[in-house]
Chain A
C-alpha cells in the first residue's frame, strides 16, 4: 500500500496568492505526498517565478494530526525559515488542538492563526523575524 502511494503520490497543490504560498491540506497526508510537499514548498520559495513573502498552511480540513504530520509541518516551517520566509499554520480544529496538547506536541517553532484570513493579515502586518540578508544596504 505504502509503496503505491510512494510511487504515485497525489500531490498537494501549492497556490500562490500574491506573494504568499497557500497550502491546503485535506484528509490524510501520506508519506510520499508529504515529501513531495516539502520539496515543492522549498523549491517554490527558492526558485519560484515570483518572490515569496510567506507560507500559509491551512489545516482546517484535517481531522487528525499525528506526530508524523506534526514533524512534516515543523520541517516545512524550518526549511522556509532557512530561506528567510515565515510559515503560518492556520485553522486548526479544537479537537485536533486538544489532542496535540494532550500528546505534548505543541509545535513550538510554528506561528499559528485562527484561519487563512488571520494568517494573511499576520504575514502582512508583522515584519519578517529573519533579518534581511543585507541590513546595511540602505544605510
Chain B
C-alpha cells in the first residue's frame, strides 16, 4: 500500500483503503510511537491538572502514574481495539483512573469537567506525534493522528465510565442505608405496633415497610398495626396504592391496620385524586389511632383522681 498524497480524490481513496487494510499498520505505528515516547508523554502529562491534583506528594509519582496510562494505551493500540472501551489493556489502569476521577469529583468537579481534563491530555501527545513525521500533512501522519484521537476518546470514555460507576455505587449504598434507617417498627402497647413513615414512599421502601410490619405483627402477636404517615410529604395515587396493599396484607394476616397522621392538605389531595380509602381505617393523628386500637381492645385510659381534690 503506497501512499499517494495527490489531490482530493486520491486522498479519499487511500482513506477508504486505510479503513480496511492499513488500520493494523497504523495501530502498530501508534503502538511504537507510544512505546518510544513513553517518557516524554509522561513528563508532559504529569503537569496536567488531572494528575497533579491527585498525586500531590511527588512529581515522580505522577510521572509513574502517567507511564502506566501510556502503557495501557500502547497495550490497547497493540491489540488494535482502539474503540473498545472493554479492551483488556485498560483493565490495568482502571483502578487508578477510578481513584483519579473520584478525587476530582470529591474536589467538586462535575463529570463533564473531568472529561474535559482527559480530553486535554490529547494535545501534548498529538504535538509529539506530529513532530515524529517529517511530513506532518502526509497521509500516514494523518491516519496515525486520527487513530490517536480515537484512542484518546476511548480513554475519555473509560474515565467517564469509572466516574459514573463510582457514583452509582455511592447511590446504591446510600439507598440501602436509607432503607435500613427509615422503617423502624415500634411496639406501642401489648398487641399494638406502629410504623412511623418518614420521607417519600417508593416501591422499594414500601416493600421493606410491608415486610418489616408483617414480621413484627407475627413476632409481637399484634392485633393492631398503625401506619403513621405524618412524615410523608406527599401522597399520590402510587403511595395510596402502596398503603392499601400494606393494609390488605396485614388484614390477611389477621391484624387490623390503621392509617394515621393524615394532614389536612394530604386529605384534600386524596379526595381530589379520587382515591378511595374507604376500606381503610384512618385517623388524624397517632394518638387518635392508638386510642382507637386501645378502645377496640377494651382498654380504657382514664385520668386518675387528682390527689389534691380528694378531701383528707
Contact = CB atoms under 8 A, between A and B. Distances in A.
Interface of A: 89-94, 96-98, 100-102, 106-107, 112-115, 118-119
A91 to B, nearest CB: 8
B130 interface: no
Nearest to B210: A98
Nearest to A65: B252
Interface in B130-150: none
Contacts of B250: 97
Interface in B217-261: 217-218, 221-223, 245-246, 248-255
Contact of A101 (B217, B252, B255): B252
Closest 9 CB pairs of A and B: A94-B214, A101-B249, A113-B254, A112-B254, A97-B249, A97-B252, A114-B254, A106-B248, A101-B248
B253 A97 contact: yes
Given A94-B215, A98-B210, 18 more contacts: A94-B217, A96-B252, A98-B249, A101-B210, A101-B245, A101-B246, A101-B249, A101-B252, A102-B245, A112-B251, A112-B252, A112-B254, A113-B254, A114-B217, A114-B218, A114-B222, A114-B253, A119-B254
Contacts of B251: 106, 112
A91 B251 CA distance: 11
Interface centre among B214, B250, B253 (most CB of A within 10 A): B253
B280 to A, nearest CB: 12
B253 A106 contact: no
Interface residues of B, number: 20
Contacts of B252: 89, 92, 96-97, 100-101, 106-107, 112
B190 interface: no
B248 A90 contact: no
Contacts of A102: 245
B223 A118 contact: yes
B169 to A, nearest CB: 29
Interface string B69-84: 0000000000000000
Nearest to B255: A114
Nearest to B219: A94
Contacts of A118: 221, 223, 254
Interface centre among A89, A98, A100, A119 (most CB of B within 10 A): A98
Contacts of B207: 98
A94 B254 contact: no
A121 to B, nearest CB: 10
Contacts of A96: 252
B211 interface: yes
Interface in B173-225: 207, 210-211, 214-215, 217-218, 221-223
A93 B217 CA distance: 10
A51 B196 CA distance: 46
B244 to A, nearest CB: 8
Contacts of A91: 254
14 contacts: A89-B252, A92-B253, A94-B214, A94-B253, A97-B250, A98-B211, A100-B248, A101-B210, A101-B248, A106-B248, A106-B252, A112-B251, A118-B221, A118-B254
B250 to A, nearest CB: 7
A112 B252 CA distance: 6
Nearest to A98: B249
Nearest to B245: A101
Given A107-B252, A112-B253, A97 B214 contact: yes
Contacts of A106: 248, 251-252
Contact of B218 (A94, A101, A119): A94
A90 B255 CA distance: 11
B247 to A, nearest CB: 8
Contacts of B255: 114
Contacts of A100: 248-249, 252
A90 B251 CA distance: 11
